[in-house]
Structure formats: structure tokens, C-alpha cells
Amino acid sequence: MLTPAELAALRQEYSQRGLRRSELEPDPIAQFNVWLAEAQARQIIEPNAMTLATVDADGQPWTRTVLLKICDARGFTFFTNYDGAKGRHLAGNARAALTFWWGAIERQVNVTGTVVQTSRAESAAYFHTRPAGSQLGAWASAQSEVVAGRAQLEAQFAAAQEKYGDAEIPLPPQWGGYRLVPQTIEFWQGRRSRLHDRLRYTRQPEGAWKIERLAP
Ligand SMILES: Cc1cc2nc3c(=O)[nH]c(=O)nc-3n(C[C@H](O)[C@H](O)[C@H](O)COP(=O)(O)O)c2cc1C
């Protein structure tokens, strides 16, 4: 176990590189895709893993990790169970935020925006690319509900396996995608002495992006 002093002393000096305004892509999704490809090239595990923040009906924020599966001009798309906790939060308040942390390249990306559900056709297209076990898991698990024990989950999985056998597994009605349509995207590059680089794109009413440097 770390002592309190050891924990307090944990710190990393960032020194790999800086981020200049002049090197940014004019479009933040293009810039994000450059950074994602670099994270992938550096063999970061699941570089598409992102922390998703949602807010419940009492104003309590919650976070969890989800995987980015589509990133294009429309926004950042992940797939999940609409009936789970995050689904309930997003039904009541469509505003959400995402964070990517790529420690090996000393970078963070923060995104805020509003989510919309993907079309059923888009959800189905992605669902059918998942391994059969993951497809069955989507039928077997009432995400975020309390379960009596692991045996209950395994029995529900076995029941789904029995039901569908080798047939095509249909898209569950409660399963699909959310696309976060970005309002702001901030790129953070760690620098020496905590003088990190932070450049934030903000969507303007007419659709253009304003870029500003923020103090670290
Ligand atoms: C690396 C990683 C990736 C994950 N990807 C997803 C995902 O894409 N979709 C999802 O629903 N849950 C994913 N999870 C599980 C979620 O973190 C979370 O436990 C689950 O979605 C239930 O969240 P909720 O109760 O807040 O709705 C992932 C977890 C980890 C650690």
C-alpha cells in the first residue's frame, strides 16, 4: 500500500512535445483523428476508451468508460443499453461529456455536447459486427440492475444461447448507439513545470469553430 507521503509525491514531468495553434487542423474532428491514430500507433491499450459523464435527475454527475466506435463529422458514437443508468440519465438530460487520457503520449482530450440516439439501422449494422458472445450478452444482461449473483447472469446468457442457437441474433430493442454532437473539444498536451498546452475549439452558431488557448 502507498503511504500518504508516497501518494502525495506521485507526479510525472511531461516533456515529450508541445502543441501549437499553427499545427492544429481547422476542424476538431480531423484533429482528434490525428491524435487517435497517434495513440493507436503508440500501442496504447484501447485508445478509443473514453470516460463518459452524464447527470441524473438530482443533478448528480456519474462517470464510466465506454468505447468510441464511430468518429466522423456528426460526432462521437458509442453503443450501450438504453435502459441502463446512463441511458436513463441521457433520456432526462441529453448533455454529456467525454474524456480521453492517453498517458504514454501525455495527452488528454475533453469533449462536451449533446447526445442523440443513432438510427436503428446504424445500431443494427454495428451490433452485427460484434462477436456472437457480445451479442448474446446484450440480450442476457439488464445493464445496471442489481443481480442476485453471477449464476443468474450465466443462466440468462445460457437461455439466450439456447434461444438463438446458430441463428442470426437480432438487435435487442433496448440496445443501440448514442452520438455525442460536440459543442467544445479541448486538446491538452502535457508540458514541463505544469505549463501544459490547452487548445479548445468551440462551435459557433453558424457552424464554424473558434479556437482559443487556455491557461493550464
Ligand atoms: C474499457 C471499457 C470499455 C467499456 N465499453 C463500454 C461500451 O462501449 N458500452 C457500454 O455500455 N459499457 C462499456 N463499458 C462498461 C461501462 O463502463 C459501464 O460499466 C456500463 O456501461 C454500465 O454503465 P451505467 O450503469 O452507468 O449505464 C466499458 C468498460 C470498460 C472498462
User: pLDDT per residue over 12-69, tens digit each?
Assistant: 999 999 999 999 999 999 999 999 999 999 999 999 999 999 999 999 999 999 999 9
Q: How far is the CA of 147 from the centre of ligand 1 (A)?
A: 17
Q: Can you name the CATH fold of 14-128+173-213?
A: Pnp Oxidase; Chain A (2.30.110)
| Angle between helical axes of 132-140 and 150-164 (0-180°, round to 10) | 120
Residue given cell 449494422 in the structure block: 125
pLDDT of res. 166 = 87
pLDDT, mean over the chain: 97
Distance 214 CA to ligand 1 centre (A): 31
Three cell numbers written together for 153: 447472469
- The SS3 call for residue 38 is helix
- Enumerate the domain spans of the chain: 14-128+173-213, 130-170
Point out the residues that are catalytic: 194
pLDDT at residue 181, as a whole number:
98
The CB of 143 under 6 Å from ligand 1? The reply is: yes
Return the residue whose CA atom lies nearest to atom 4 of ligand 1. 66
* Model confidence pLDDT, tens digit, residues 165-207: 889 999 999 999 999 999 999 999 999 999 999 999 999 999 8
Mutate to test the pocket of ligand 1, among 64, 93, 118, 141 (most ligand atoms within 8 A of CB): 64
pLDDT of amino acid 86 = 98
**pLDDT over threshold 90, residue 107:** yes
| C-beta of 152 in contact with ligand 1 (< 6 A) | no
Ligand 1: atom nearest CA of 87 is: 27
Q: Is the CB of 55 under 6 A from ligand 1?
A: no
Neighbours of 51 (CB within 10 A): 14
Residues paired with 203 in a beta bridge: 209
Taking the CB of residue 68, how many other CB atoms lie within 10 A of it?
Answer: 20
Closest atom of ligand 1 relative to the 84 alpha carbon? 27
HEC string of 131-193 equals CHHHHHHHHHCCCCCCCCCHHHHHHHHHHHHHHHCCCCCCCCCCEEEEEEEEEEEEEEECCHH
